[in-house]
Amino acid sequence: MSKISINLVVLNGDKYIEYCLNSILKQSFPHEQIQINILDNGSTDNTRLLIHDFKNKTSNDIFPKVNFIMSDVNFGMWGGQEKLLKYSSDEYVVFLSVDVMLDKDFISRAIAILDADSHIGAVQAKIYQYTAGEPLTKQIIDTCGFEIYRNRRIGNIGHGSPDGEQFNQASEIFGVEGAVPIFRRQALESIRVMGEIADHDLFWYGEDLDVAWRLHLAGWKQIYEPSIIAWHDRGTTKSHTHGSWLKYISHVHIRQQLSIKKRRLEWRNARWTRIKNDYIINILKDLPYILWRETEVLGYTILFEPIVLKEIPKFLRFLPKMLRKRRAILVRAVTTPQSIHKFFK
């Protein structure tokens, strides 16, 4: 049996797929202990052809275990990852995005961290920015994981900042980010709610934050380890500016590059995630911060993105279901409100 699965979910990824798969081929960890599972969510470009070429390349025992599943249904990133979990029972699993490249020691170092502490449920790599086709550098941080603030704003640690000493210390973080998290299989199975690991109602946006929060509630540690390296071509969110007005203008510009669908899902799913997972005592403790933030978001939305407010009817329609999920989550929670609140900055 293999030790770890690399699970890749892709949709129309021919711009990235060869870079991503070649980085898997270069892994220093014994290949016979790695299983590769790939799900194509209905690509209409050359993605499937390129995956077939990769599978043929690995058929001569370079990687003994490669599964390629083609679907005409788009299950989304996290729904697709959940489908791929059925194809292996390995102790650890990497949820890989197609626009990510792995350092050659990515797998070996991730396994060393997970083997060292059975209470670690997920590991976050130091992820640098890159642009497909350009040389890889270790200069600008893409993310070192999720951080959360008392107003419940979520940020990517280090995003857009030059690499430095502050990013060279391993630490426990609020959550692993969705580009290429590494999970203990047991931790994922422990957070199933109504039969689902990822919340399928959050389709396409925010599932990683929801999973990270529920891992905390279930008592699992999430560790940032700077020796585990990857690169991510995040696309529209590479800029980083200092100063309140420049930062605000940059924020507006970045959001205008996102699709309306994604902006609507971001607003809706972030609030569903909080409804499901946030302890009431912590909400009350931080209520002034939360209300001020919600007032700011509402004003911004009315001024710049009024179409996002069309998501409110669906938000309310699913509210009873989210409250049922909340009950199912919190009845099994083992982490105290104080232990989670220490991550709120």
The tens digit of pLDDT for each residue in 266-323 reads 999 999 999 999 999 999 999 999 999 999 999 999 998 999 999 999 999 999 999 9
Band the pLDDT of 252: cuts 50, 70, 90. Answer: low
The tens digit of pLDDT for each residue in 208-226 reads 999 999 999 999 999 999 9
Question: Is the backbone of residue 145 left (phi > 0), alpha (psi -120 to 50) or beta?
Answer: left
Q: 4-232 has which fold?
A: Spore Coat Polysaccharide Biosynthesis Protein SpsA; Chain A (3.90.550)
Residues of the chain with CATH 3.90.550.10: 4-232
The tens digit of pLDDT for each residue in 149-197 reads 999 999 999 999 999 999 999 999 999 999 999 999 999 999 999 999 9
Cβ atoms within 10 A of the Cβ of 151, count? 17
Distance CA 230, CA 329 (A): 32
What are 148's strand-pairing partners? 154, 344
Whether the Cβ atoms of residue 53 and residue 85 lie closer than 8 Å to each other: no
pTM of the model: 0.93
Q: How many residues does the chain have?
A: 345
